[in-house]
Structure formats: C-alpha cells, structure tokens
Amino acid sequence: MDEFALIRRLTERRTRTGAALPPLAVGIGDDAAVADWPSGSQIVMSCDTMVQEVHFKRVTMKDSDVGYKAMASNISDIAAMGAIPRYALLSLSAPKNVPVSRLDNLYEGLYECAEQFGVTVAGGDTTSTPGEIVLAVTIIGEIEQGRALVRSSARPGDAVFVTGYPGCSAAGLHYLLGRQQAADSIGELTQPYRFLVQAHQRPQPQVKAARMLLQSGFAGALNDVSDGVASEAAEIAEASGVGLLLEEGRLPVHPDLAEYARLASREPLDWILGGGEDYQLLGTVRPEGVNELAALFSRHGIPLAIVGEVSERFTGVRLLRRSGAIEPVDKRGYNHFDN
Ligand code: ADP
Ligand code: MG
C-alpha cells in the first residue's frame, strides 16, 4: 500500500462518526489544516511520543490501547493547564513490513479517545523507519485568556488534592509484566486485576475535573500525574517555592490496589508515590474553597481527596507517616526505592 492510500485508510474511515468535534476550515488532505480560533482565548500546545519497547511492550498494551493512551496522555497535558483539548496532529513512523491491521488498531484507539474528549484529528505525518513503531501526538487546546493553571501558583495554606486513585496504573503494569503474555490474548480479567489493568491501558484524562477547578476560582497549582504523586508534588513545590506536606493516611488507596499489593507483597504507597501514567490530577486549592469543591466533585461523581497542605516552613515534599513521623520524599517516590 502506498503512503497516500495508507493515510486515507487510517484517517478517513472514522472522521465523521457524528461526534460534535471542532470543525476544520481545511481538513486532512491539503498541505496543512486550517481552524478558526475564538477571540478572547489562548492556545495551549503540547506533544508526547510513544516508542514501542520503550513506552509500551506487546505484553502490556494492545495496539488499540497504545493509540488510546497516546491520545489520552496528550489530552491530560492540556487538562493539567485547565484547558479544553481541541485538535491533534499524529506523526507515525512504522517499519515498512508492519501489518496494516496493527496501524488500523492503533488508529482505532487514537480516534476512540479523540472522540471521547471532543478532539478533531487535524492531520499528521507518515514515515517508514528501520526501527519499531513510533507515534508522536501533538495536541492543541483552548483556554480563557490568562486563566491557565500553572505549577507555580501554590501558596502556603493551600490544601493539596488528588483526583482518582494514583498508583493503579503502575500496579496494573506490574501485573502485566509478571504475566508475560501478549496483551491481545488476555481475556476477561477478574478483580483485583481488571481495574488496575484498565487504569494502565485506558487512563482517563481529567478534563472535566480540571475545568471544574478552573471555573470554581479556588484553584492554585495544577499538574497531571504522569510520573507519580511524589514527582508531581515536587514539581509544584519547586515551581512555587513552597513545601508540600502529604499525609500517608489521607492518600486514597483503591481497594483493588490494596488487594493486589497484598497478593504481590508490595506497599501500595510505593506505587502511589513512585508509579506513574495515572493521568489523574494533583494540585492545590485555596483553603476557603475546599468544602465547596469537595461537594461539587462529589455531586459529579469524581473522586477527589485532600491529601495534605502547602507550607512555607520547608521546601520540597514531605510525608507525614501514620506513626506521626515526618520524612522527606524524593522525586522518585518514597525512599523504599533506594534500598
Ligand atoms: P505533505 O507531503 O504536504 O507533507 P502528507 O502526504 O504528509 O503531505 O500528508 C497529507 C495529508 O495527510 C495532510 O493533511 C496530513 O496532515 C495528513 N496526514 C499525513 N500522515 C498522517 C497521519 N499519520 N495521521 C493523520 N493524518 C496524516
Ligand atoms: Mg508530510
């Protein structure tokens, strides 16, 4: 199949599924795409690349999962600014002899996630490579002028929050790597594996949660949890010039994570602090907004936990253990990992 036929095959079939996506003035097929841009808003841009054998392996992810997650991780970066994802560009490098069905599946996942979050695929690039599949996604979003939620706006006295259940993706990965079975051939999984594997393969970027935060007016700093709670908290602490005190007893532990950790003789805390790829949100809120936000999130069924507070008395991240001891946490997570 020549390159043009391949591009048409990958992009044409699913561009008009009836989802209300932002329209393009000039779409796929010309030298570049053209989109209208609303006045009073700012453009938010990011890109992320997935390389087979580096970011995913065939035992951990089906091709459709890879596509889904590539789009999801990009959308998550837009969510982490409080913005709305609008357009995506896809750069695909694939070995010449790759079965087209693999690319079909990759694009199936890409489009599934794009449509779920209202993102229009505006174009991309296609090349062959002597190596493994590389998929780079560029994402473009929109935000109200001057409202972006940055890492540097945590203030002493803010509460630290997290959405969802960080650590589940890393636990799911641990399970998949232990099985060493092609991801395509894994049938229906039972608890506690199902939720964890789902968290790893199909993470849900928190666009709605971030928009609710922004609109509440109570938001401080915001990050998405791509590298584990410890690392995200450290980034906020550093950018804001403050300390973040996390409380072990308040970090949310999903029951399936607790159960799997028990079976695998691991500490849930290690995965929560040092895992990654959860694409939940970690941030700070002004203290006067905590109750209102908690009620708002609960009405919308989005798990939100207050897990600590911002302090001016130290810098970096510290963990208040259940014992009452306070320990420093490094970027890679709790210091268990060093032993
Ligand atoms: P050019 O030679 O002008 O760079 P291309 O042949 O690379 O054009 O691309 C033709 C059209 O197909 C463009 O609209 C481009 O954005 C789109 N496109 C190319 N590759 C991909 C891809 N892998 N996924 C989505 N769209 C693509
Ligand atoms: Mg091109």
Separation of CA 205 and ligand 2 centre (Å): 29
What residue's CA is closest to ligand 1, atom 19? 125
pLDDT at residue 334, rounded to an integer: 55
Separation of CA 33 and ligand 1 centre (Å): 10
108 within domain boundaries: yes
335 within domain boundaries: no
Give the ligand 1 atom nearest the CA of 33. 14
Q: Which residues are annotated as a binding site for Mg(2+)?
A: 31, 46, 48, 77, 125, 224, 227
Residues 111 and 229 in one domain: no
334 within domain boundaries: no
pLDDT at residue 17, rounded to an integer: 58
- Please give the C-alpha separations between residue 215 and each of 82, 83, 106, 150, 211, in angstroms, as whole numbers: 9, 11, 34, 15, 6
Residues with CB under 6 A from ligand 1: 7, 10-11, 28-31, 90, 92, 121, 123-126
Residues 173 and 138 in one domain: no
Q: What is the mean pLDDT of each run of 10 residues along the chain (339 residues)?
A: 89 67 89 94 96 89 96 98 98 96 96 96 96 96 98 98 98 93 82 96 98 98 96 98 98 98 97 96 98 98 98 98 96 56
Q: Which run of H or E residues covers position 320?
A: strand 316-320
311 forms bridges with which residues in the sheet? 243
Domain that holds residue 210: 151-328
**DSSP three-state, residue 137:** strand
Last residue of a domain, one of 90, 118, 144: 144
Residues 157 and 136 in one domain: no
Q: Which residues are annotated as a binding site for substrate?
A: 55, 277, 334
State the total domains in the chain: 2
Separation of CA 81 and ligand 2 centre (Å): 29
pTM of the model: 0.94
Going across the sheet that includes 120-128, the strands are 41-51, 134-144, 84-94, 120-128
Task: Determine contact, residues 82/222, Cβ cutoff 8 Å.
Answer: yes
Residues 191 and 134 in one domain: no
